[in-house]
């Protein structure tokens, strides 16, 4: 089933949620490069909806990986299953002969992460991790600027992720990633796995050696519930009309984060009416709960420190409740600095050279060109560039700077695991402890 450099790569979709479908859309734009041959998902509604969308034959729509025939149906699989079964499903797909485009985070713990890396090496399979932000023009341009030596040798990498208040309420207070027990992932690894990877990527060829962090759950607790608030926005809350976290306001009036909010209504097999949405929020929809009275236990703010083997230091501030979500970066080298904002899609390059000027300054715009293929897609324009690189890798070509080995992806993950362990234990954690 291996494709040649002159033919399209055939893939199967495993776990047909939002991320998998986003990557698979590449096949609709460039069918000469990527073709979808089958899908696997236990949800019958999603199976049929996505199967119809990609014209997958009815007999190639499977409930479980175990239902796949022994004969390979494609060269590779796009694995967008839930975080807690990434390793389990990936190992099974590797054993069946599939190369993988694997959604991040790779795993929820260091032990299974190393297990997957070793097995992929033993089977000589390719795994490309979906570090889509590396492929966003903003971050790609910064990496290229570092690689050409514009700021000399990197000394420090300081980053911040400001999670918008509505995103925080949806995903990490009411939603799927609210609890370590329910999703198996910390706030840091669920939300800023991207950022830990970017930090390690910018520091290459240096590798992280130890990490720690501080922070915790500060705001979204019952002790901070305002007077007049209730248990559900549309049932017993007296301040719902003026509350910025109102489920009606976010999901119905502003139509935000609807992929998650209306998941409980997917069984309808059609778009829900407004009254059905409101009734859902009134009854058993988890996204209708008061943000101060949920079962969330993950942190809502965190400060991370990482040390690399050549002395580079990295810092990441992760916080919730920003009015506007953004990611920022400030990298200082021996001959200059880079300061930028993903939201603004631009960064400032300042360098000094001993000439008459104190320093040289250049503002570099990285706004994606709207070519109909990239600019309209998420993660700063990186989603489909990621798939493009994956195809290049499988065809034996040379990918961009954005795609590196699985080992490089493992470094960023281990730094994140070490930082979270350090937060819980109040100490620096050596990555060597996690490698076993």
Which residues does 235 contact at the CB level (< 8 Å), separation at least 6? Answer: 282, 288
What average pLDDT does the segment 287-303 reach? 97
3-state secondary structure 308-330: ECCCCEEEEEEEEEECCCEEEEE
Q: Name the band, by pLDDT with cuts 50, 70 and 90, for residue 101.
A: very high
User: 17 or 168: which carries more pLDDT confidence?
Assistant: 168
Separation CA 105–CA 417 (nearest Å): 11
176 Cβ neighbours under 8 A, 6+ residues apart: 82, 182, 183, 260
Return mean pLDDT, the chain.
Answer: 93
pLDDT of residue 259: 87
Residue 122, both tokens: 């033993």
- Cβ neighbours of residue 395 under 8 Å, at least 6 residues apart? 3, 4, 5, 9
Bridge partners, residue 307, by sequence: 210, 313
Determine the Cα–Cα distance for residues 378 and 285; give it in Å rounded to an integer. 26
Ramachandran quadrant class, 358 (left: phi over 0; alpha: psi -120 to 50; beta: rest):
alpha
H helical segments located in 184-323: 187-203, 247, 258-261, 274-282
Identify the three-state secondary structure at position 84.
Answer: helix
Question: Can you give the pLDDT at residue 375?
Answer: 44
Is the per-residue pLDDT at 351 higher than 70? yes
Q: In sequence order, what DSSP letters do the residues of 20-44 get, joined into one string?
A: HHHHHHHHHH-TTTEEEEEEE-S-H
According to DSSP, the β-strands at 61-62 and 76-79 are unpaired
For residue 361, give the DSSP letter.
E
Q: What mean pLDDT comes out for the span 406-419?
A: 94
Domain ranges of the chain: 9-129, 134-220+296-435, 222-288
Residue 381 pLDDT: 65
Q: How much of the chain, in percent, has pLDDT values that exceed 90?
A: 87
- pLDDT on residue 184: 87
pLDDT at residue 382 greater than cutoff 50 = yes
- CATH number for the segment(s) 134-220+296-435: 3.30.360.10
Q: If you search the block for the tokens 């995903």, which residue do you land on?
A: 171
Q: How confident is the model at residue 4 (pLDDT cuts 50, 70, 90)?
A: very low
Architecture, CATH, for domain 9-129: 3-Layer(aba) Sandwich (3.40)
Please state which of the ranges 75-84, 237-246, 256-265, 376-385 shows the lowest mean pLDDT.
376-385
pTM for the full predicted model: 0.91
Query: What is residue 169's three-state secondary structure?
Result: helix
- Could you list the beta-strand ranges (E) of 54-201: 61-62, 76-79, 99-102, 127-129, 154-164
pLDDT of residue 137: 93
Cα dist. 382→51, 134, 423 in Å? Answer: 25, 7, 31
**Residue 370 pLDDT more than 70?**
no
H or E segment to which residue 422 belongs: helix 406-425
């Amino acid at each position: 089933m291996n494709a040649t450099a002159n033919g399209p790569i055939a893939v199967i979709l495993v776990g047909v949620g939002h991320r998998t479908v986003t990557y698979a859309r590449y096949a609709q734009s460039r069918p000469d490069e990527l073709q979808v041959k089958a899908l696997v998902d236990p949800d019958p509604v999603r199976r049929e909806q996505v199967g119809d969308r990609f014209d997958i034959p009815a007999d190639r729509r499977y409930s479980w990986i175990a239902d796949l025939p022994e004969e390979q149906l494609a060269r590779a699989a796009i694995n967008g299953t839930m975080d807690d079964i990434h390793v389990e499903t990936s190992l099974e797909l590797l054993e069946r002969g599939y190369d993988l485009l694997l959604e991040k985070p790779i795993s929820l713990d260091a032990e299974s992460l190393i297990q997957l890396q070793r097995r992929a090496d033993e089977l000589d399979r390719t795994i490309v991790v979906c570090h889509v932000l590396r492929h966003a023009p903003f971050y790609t341009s910064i990496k290229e600027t570092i690689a050409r030596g514009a700021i000399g040798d990197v000394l420090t990498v300081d980053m911040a992720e400001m999670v918008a208040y509505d995103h925080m309420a949806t995903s990490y207070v009411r939603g799927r990633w609210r609890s370590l027990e329910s999703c198996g992932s910390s706030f840091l690894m669920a939300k800023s796995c991207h950022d830990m990877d970017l930090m390690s990527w910018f520091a290459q060829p240096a590798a992280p050696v130890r990490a720690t962090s501080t922070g915790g759950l500060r705001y979204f607790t019952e002790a901070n519930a305002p007077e007049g608030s209730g248990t559900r926005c549309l049932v017993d809350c007296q301040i719902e009309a003026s509350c910025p976290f109102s489920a009606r306001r976010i999901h119905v009036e502003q139509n935000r984060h609807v992929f998650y909010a209306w998941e409980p209504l997917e069984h309808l097999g059609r778009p829900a009416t407004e009254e059905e949405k409101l009734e859902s929020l009134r009854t058993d929809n988890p996204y209708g709960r008061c943000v101060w009275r949920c079962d969330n236990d993950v942190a809502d703010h965190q400060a991370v420190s990482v040390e690399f083997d050549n002395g580079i230091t990295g810092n990441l501030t992760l916080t919730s409740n920003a009015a506007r979500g953004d990611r920022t970066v400030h990298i200082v080298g021996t001959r200059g600095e880079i300061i930028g904002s993903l939201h603004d899609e631009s960064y400032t390059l300042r360098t000094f050279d001993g000439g008459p000027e104190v320093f040289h300054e250049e503002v570099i715009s990285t706004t994606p060109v709207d070519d109909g293929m990239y600019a309209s897609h998420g993660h700063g324009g990186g989603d489909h560039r990621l798939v493009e690189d994956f195809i290049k890798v499988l065809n034996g070509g040379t990918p961009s700077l954005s795609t590196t080995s699985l080992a490089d992806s493992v470094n960023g993950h281990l730094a994140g695991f070490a930082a979270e362990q350090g937060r819980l234990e109040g100490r620096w954690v050596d990555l060597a402890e996690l490698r076993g």
